[in-house]
Amino acid sequence: MNIDLSGRRALVSGSSQGIGLAIATELARAGAAGIVNGRGKERTEQAAATISDRLPGADVTAVAADLATAEGAAQLRDRVPDLDILVNNLGIFGARPVLEIDDDEWRRYFEVNVLSAVRLTRTYLPGMMDRGWGRVLNIASDSAVAIPVEMVHYGMTKTALLAVTRGFAKAAAGSGVTVNSVIVGPTHTPGVEMFVEELVGDDLSWEEAQRRFMREHRPNSLIQRLIEPAEIGNMVVYLSSDQASVTTGGALRADGGYVDSILP
């Protein structure tokens, strides 16, 4: 399948590292003009430079803004008034016993992981509908379906994203715009490496720590390894393409078979 996103403008929120950077890289590889986002100017510009180094000639712009705030979303809108592809990737996670999560932390997780996506979708979806083409993608998680006991607050936000996705897809019905979520499984990122060390200790080699983590904390995985970020990027590129024109309102799994269900 030859996917060509030339002429499309794509934003990936929270793309200065990890999965977001990989998604932005793969969209650029497919020809999209990419907008990389992070809170800090230096890291965001470095991420854009990384993509340019990997893909000489790629059209990549860095826009630093804290999209977990209304002010940050407004700053982005001023810099980038229109988009063809919006990937809501921004998110935070961490382990905490559910009885120890206070109100402020519940609110923070919702603000960053859910409301940031709602704000950006509300900003850019109307323009996409007016033009008759657009793609909105929310990066969810297996934790939306299989709530992990060590981070219920994170799982809650990803479950909410599935509902938000379906709702906005209904709002865009018949417009030529699709809205989907991607259920991401356990993925190899620097943040996950630290998370693995928190759970299994830091006295093991990375290979041993990863095997123990998958065996003890993610035993449902059918691939028995962490997913590489570029593999998530491949799914996003497909869903951003013309070839995915009839896929909307869905929760597409790129989870290594982790979710033990025929449907999400």
pLDDT for res 202: 86
The CATH number given to whatever domain includes residue 147 is 3.40.50.720
pLDDT for res 72: 97
pLDDT for res 74: 97
SS3 for 219?
coil
Q: What string of DSSP letters covers the chain?
A: -----TT-EEEETT-SSHHHHHHHHHHHHTTPEEEEEESSHHHHHHHHHHHHHHSTT--EEEEE--TTSHHHHHHHHHH----SEEEE---------GGG--HHHHHHHHIIIIIHHHHHHHHHHHHHHHHT-EEEEEEEEGGGTS--TT-HHHHHHHHHHHHHHHHHHHHTTTTTEEEEEEEE-SB--HHHHHHHHHHH-SSS-HHHHHHHHHHHH-TT-SS-SPBPHHHHHHHHHHHTSGGGTT--S-EEEESTT-S-SS--
Q: Answer yes or no: is 3 within a domain.
A: no
Tell me: do 51 and 72 sit in the same domain.
yes
**What string of pLDDT tens digits covers the 264 residues of the chain?**
899 999 999 999 999 999 999 999 999 999 999 999 999 999 999 999 999 999 999 999 999 999 999 999 999 999 999 999 999 999 999 989 999 999 999 999 999 999 999 999 999 999 999 999 999 999 999 999 999 999 999 999 999 999 999 999 999 999 999 999 999 999 998 888 988 998 998 899 999 999 999 999 889 999 999 999 999 999 999 999 999 999 999 999 999 999 998 887
Tell me: do 97 and 22 sit in the same domain.
yes
Q: Answer yes or no: is 1 within a domain.
A: no
Tell me: do 117 and 220 sit in the same domain.
no
Q: Answer yes or no: is 261 within a domain.
A: no
Tell me: do 221 and 121 sit in the same domain.
no
pLDDT for res 156: 98
Kindly report the pTM of this predicted structure.
Answer: 0.94
Tell me: do 22 and 95 sit in the same domain.
yes
Q: Answer yes or no: is 235 within a domain.
A: yes
154 in catalytic set: yes
Q: Answer yes or no: is 25 within a domain.
A: yes
Q: Answer yes or no: is 2 within a domain.
A: no
Instruction: Given the residues 124, 154, 238, 258, select the one marked as catalytic.
Output: 154
Tell me: do 161 and 197 sit in the same domain.
no
Contact 87, 13 (CB under 8 A): yes
Q: Answer yes or no: is 200 within a domain.
A: yes
Q: How many separate domains does the chain show?
A: 2
Tell me: do 238 and 150 sit in the same domain.
yes
Tell me the residue range of the domain where 36 lies. Answer: 9-187+228-251
